[in-house]
Amino acid sequence: MKKSEYRASWECPSNIAMVKYWGKKPAQLPMNPSLSFSLKKARTTTTVELQTAPKRTVEFLFEGQPSPFVKRIENYLSTMSIEHNWLNNFSFNIESSNTFPHSAGIASSASAFGALALCLNDIKQQVLSRQFTETQFLQKASRWARMGSGSACRSIYPGFALWGRMNGFPNSTDCNAIAVDEQFHSDYYLLHDAVLMVDSGTKQVSSSAGHNLMNSHPFKDARIAQASMDLQELIKAMKAGDHTRFFELVEREALSLHAMMMTSDPSYLLLHPNSLKVVKKIQAFRQQTGLAVGFTIDAGPNIHLLYFGYDKSKVHAFIETELMDLLEDGKWLDDRIGDGPIKL
Ligand code: DP6
């Protein structure tokens, strides 16, 4: 077996957005700023090995098997090689695995491109014999991740990540995410995300096609303005520990994302009847118990129930007794805010 010349291995989490990225400009720049937190358990592990070669070839194994995702990686490397010439001189052997099932309702492209971008920037340092500072390294990895999948740029940081130019955050930029250093109320560092599987079927519309629908959307400008306002207000609520306002804003963001899809041309209805039943049950549970719980939803039918760690046993009991019948095969998984990527 030939010895690989360069090698890197990273584990990177997925993330869940509270203010949603929806709509993009050329070169994967977001129409609006977004805010997310990294997950702890939902992670991708990727190993990249490079050997000098006359032209680039890519082999990709996902959980030990060849995978059609290889096409997306090939296209990605081909785009990145326009600016980063060194990518043309190697054969790539890439192996990847996830800690969560593919159809779990968790953004797998975020952790996948996060892990790949971290490996490639690690290898870049080896190939070019350069050492980046930690800040430079994370910023570059976030930029590279963004080029693969927009939301992936937020997976590079532990805790909360902000992507997109935002007043009041001088380091914020559309080109990469940044870690949010604001001191929030301590409860927000105990955020949990119970991912409730309503329907694991393939999506009617890919995220990329969904983003494109925003280009000519009649509510485009209003949506961009709303996301910036929601983000400012959300940060205020998180500093003040105003959980009521926090969940009002997070839920409205999720519903606004779906409202955009329902009113685009063509329009898409991605929610399942059980998605709405779950949402209604969460809202009723909040009203009856006074507990700080709420939901968010990505571009699909599954519901992310957000809560704070100190309410874990009550929330789990609620899921087990009231929601199981609405979930596909009773499937759900519990995750929480995490510490970001790890170099292996
Ligand atoms: C609804 O990052 O998957 O999850 O940039 O085309 O890869 P591409 O899209 P993607 O979009 C995710 C959108 C979202 C909201 C969010 O995560 O902010």
Beta-carbon neighbour count of residue 121 at 10 Å? 24
Q: 210 C-alpha to center of ligand 1: Å?
A: 9
Q: Is the pLDDT of residue 2 over 60?
A: no
Instruction: Name the residue at shortest CA distance from atom 8 of ligand 1.
Output: 149
Q: Is the pLDDT of residue 344 over 90?
A: yes
Q: Of 106, 149, 151, which is best to mutate to test ligand 1, by the most ligand atoms within 8 angstroms of its C-beta? A: 151
Question: Residue 294's beta-bridge partner residues?
Answer: 306
What would the mean pLDDT of 272-291 be, rounded to a whole number?
98
Q: How far apart are CA 4 and CA 125, in angstroms?
A: 16
Q: Is the pLDDT of residue 213 over 50?
A: yes
Q: Is the pLDDT of residue 3 over 70?
A: no
Q: Is 241 exposed, middle or buried (0-12, 13-18, 19+ CB in 10 A)?
A: middle
What would the mean pLDDT of 25-50 be, rounded to a whole number?
97
pLDDT confidence of residue 28: 95
What would the mean pLDDT of 157-186 be, rounded to a whole number?
96
Binding site membership of 107 for ligand 1 (Cβ less than 6 Å)? yes
Q: 250 C-alpha to center of ligand 1: Å?
A: 16
Q: How far apart are CA 151 and CA 36, in angstroms?
A: 9
Indicate the pLDDT class of residue 57, thresholds 50, 70 and 90: very high
What would the mean pLDDT of 165-171 be, rounded to a whole number?
95
Q: What is the pLDDT of residues 303-329, one digit of tens each?
A: 999 999 999 999 999 999 999 999 999
Q: Is 26 exposed, middle or buried (0-12, 13-18, 19+ CB in 10 A)?
A: exposed
Q: What is the pLDDT of residues 123-141, one digit of tens each?
A: 999 999 999 999 999 999 9
Q: How far apart are CA 262 and CA 27, in angstroms?
A: 26
pTM (2 d.p.): 0.97
Angle at 183 between CA 295 and CA 188, to 5 degrees: 25
Q: How far apart are CA 36 and CA 129, in angstroms?
A: 34
What would the mean pLDDT of 176-182 be, rounded to a whole number?
93
Share of the chain above pLDDT 70, in %: 99
Residue 105 — left, alpha, or beta (φ > 0 → left; ψ -120 to 50 → alpha)? left
Q: 79 C-alpha to center of ligand 1: Å?
A: 19
pLDDT confidence of residue 1: 43
Instruction: Name the residue at shortest CA distance from atom 12 of ligand 1.
Output: 151
Q: Can you tell me which atom of ligand 1 is nearest the CA of 257? A: 1
Q: Can you tell me which atom of ligand 1 is nearest the CA of 109? A: 3
Q: 208 C-alpha to center of ligand 1: Å?
A: 8
Q: 174 C-alpha to center of ligand 1: Å?
A: 14
The DSSP secondary-structure symbol of 200 reads: -
Instruction: Name the residue at shortest CA distance from atom 6 of ligand 1.
Output: 208
Indicate the pLDDT class of residue 182, thresholds 50, 70 and 90: confident
Q: Is 288 exposed, middle or buried (0-12, 13-18, 19+ CB in 10 A)?
A: exposed
Q: What is the pLDDT of residues 61-105, one digit of tens each?
A: 999 999 999 999 999 999 999 999 999 999 999 999 999 987 777
Helix (H, G, I), strand (E, B) or coil at 225: helix
Q: Is the pLDDT of residue 217 over 90?
A: yes
Average per-residue pLDDT for the chain: 96
